[in-house]
Amino acid sequence: MTIKAGDRMPQGTLKRMTSEGPRDLSTDELFKGKKVVLFSVPGAFTPTCDAKHLPGFLQRAADLKAKGVDTIACMAVNDVFVMNAWGKSSGAGDKVLMLADGNGDYAKALGLTMDASRFGMGTRGQRFALVVEDGTVRHVFVEAPGEFKVSAAEHVLSNL
């Protein structure tokens, strides 16, 4: 079942890099008492993700925060080391929290996986953006295959 507006976010654990190394981040820590924009990309450093999706959220971070967003988080089915390297190379800093869903468990719990085997990438998370308030989904923006429109920072911002 695919997550929809009004649903509670499923319980899960993602990984993020800290100064002490990789650390688990529970979904309770991520969402409880906060307004969060969680966007997902099929893969770090992949063309659209690297050239448009992440940069859009970096460029619009201040605008999103001005609309009451506490956390902007980028999730991909990549390991924590790759997500950390991508965040560093993109200049994510403290603007966007880079989260690894290494085995795709959280994308699966959201019902938002895709088969990218024809690209040699196995099962990945779809391209999407969610607006979550205190653990409840307010908006769901899932891209059609090959599209990049509704999960873009500008579209999310226009719906806040």
pLDDT tens digit string along 11-61?
Answer: 999 999 999 999 999 999 999 999 999 999 998 888 787 878 999 999 999
In a domain? residue 144: yes
Query: Residue 33: which CATH number?
Result: 3.40.30.10
pLDDT single digits (tens) 92-130:
999 999 999 999 999 999 999 977 777 777 687 899 999
* Residue 49 among the catalytic residues: yes
CB contact at 8 A, 13 and 27 = yes
pLDDT score of 74 more than 80: yes
Q: What pLDDT, on the 0 to 100 scale, is given for residue 118?
A: 78
What the block records as the tokens of 34 is 């906060």
Catalytic residue among 44, 49, 98, 137: 49
Structural domains counted in the chain: 1
Check if the beta carbon of residue 72 is closer than 8 Å to that of residue 97.
Answer: yes
Host domain of residue 103: 13-158
- pLDDT for residue 122: 66
One-letter amino acid for residue 103 of the chain: N
The alpha carbon of residue 110 and the mean position of all alpha carbons in its chain are separated, in whole angstroms, by 12
